[in-house]
Structure 1
């Protein structure tokens, strides 16, 4: 995992706030930044609700494998965000800030949340490209950065987890959450004895409180 690696006290998570109004927009921002900046496969990109300011919205965070990578990405990011055709946005890396204060503050919040690995909804992470179609639960856990799963409504505790061979219909939309330092994927029962991610793809645009 990559959220807080590197030398102690050296930031490796960059936050970006472009005022995304809904999950779909925030997902696209995270995916576009990963592609445009040429980020490494180890990157974990998350969305985060920002409830302060004039309106609730979402920001994103980019957890990188080490401080040197984060520093290099920061310079490329600032150049990208400063382009005339880009909408107003802010960024944060440790004490560094870019853009209007309201956006930079949202970016700093997103970076801090993923740095602690306590909050954040992962959109891009190692192995996400393998999670398409229907795959066994065992495959999902072995071939992606997801640490564990929960089944909504199932009793907690040892021995109560789903069978590792249970098929998971991914719907090509798998969004685990940071919880207690782990990426955790909530699942729900689906037709035919399958499991499916709790979050459905392309959700109806809604307030950032659902992030």
Structure 2
């Protein structure tokens, strides 16, 4: 499904590079930015791996519900006055010139829904403990794929199948759809392909 809260367009997506190295650090950054910027409901925050000649690490992108919300978040971001942080919104840049150059393609990737691993998204807070496939698809997640089990007739897993979330559900943008990869687990259940390491990031932001 394609949910109405999905956003597109470079003018509503902010890229941020704060020098984080690992995905776990980027997850923490996503939560800190939500708290410090007061990100509104409907915001999708993704992490991105950076592999360039002069940067190896991670960055994040913030897809706001509309251009007005993005402008407000941009102003609050500038107010943080963090010298190690760089950001990009459309043709605009803020902070460290090098970091802002890294942040720009990250924002574009998310705006085009070509890539990005979602940490914060509508409904993510409901994906704890064990839920069903139907409950997963009632969030911003558009599609579920089961690794090693091709869909039959284009259909995914049974909506009633239990999903053991481990409190760590990180879908990714694939072909314009927010897609969650699952693997078979004990007792006919499914579980996210990505395992929390060493514990779910959200434990530290409860």
TM-score (norm 2): 0.90
Pairing 1:35–2:35 present? yes
Find the residue that maps to 1:48 and give its secondary structure. strand
For the residues of structure 2 that align with 1:109 and 1:159, how far apart are their CA atoms?
32
Pairing 1:90–2:86 present? yes
Give 1:56's aligned residue: 56
CA change 1:107–1:154 in 2 (3 A) is: same
Structure scoring higher RCO (CA < 8 A, sep ≥ 6) equals 1
- 1:56-93: CA deviation from partner (whole Å, max 9, x where unpaired): 1100000001111111110100111x1xxx46110000
**Is residue 45–residue 118 contact of structure 2 (8 Å, CA) maintained in 1?**
yes
2:162 corresponds, among 163, 167, 178, to 167
Give 1:3's aligned residue: 7
**Is residue 132–residue 161 contact of structure 2 (8 Å, CA) maintained in 1?**
yes
Find the residue that maps to 1:135 and give its secondary structure. strand
- Where in structure 2 are there 5+ consecutive unaligned residues? 200-206
Pairing 1:121–2:117 present? yes
TM-score (norm 1): 0.88
- Where in structure 1 are there 5+ consecutive unaligned residues? 205-211
Q: Please state how far the C-alpha of 1:53 moved relative to its aligned partner.
A: 4.2
**Is residue 18–residue 87 contact of structure 1 (8 Å, CA) maintained in 2?**
no
The number of residue pairs the alignment matches comes to 195
**Is residue 87–residue 95 contact of structure 2 (8 Å, CA) maintained in 1?**
yes
For the residues of structure 2 that align with 1:11 and 1:64, how far apart are their CA atoms?
9
For the residues of structure 1 that align with 2:53 and 2:167, how far apart are their CA atoms?
33
Give 1:199's aligned residue: 194
1:182 corresponds, among 168, 177, 183, to 177
**Is residue 86–residue 95 contact of structure 2 (8 Å, CA) maintained in 1?**
yes
Find the residue that maps to 2:60 and give its secondary structure. strand
CA change 1:54–1:156 in 2 (3 A) is: same
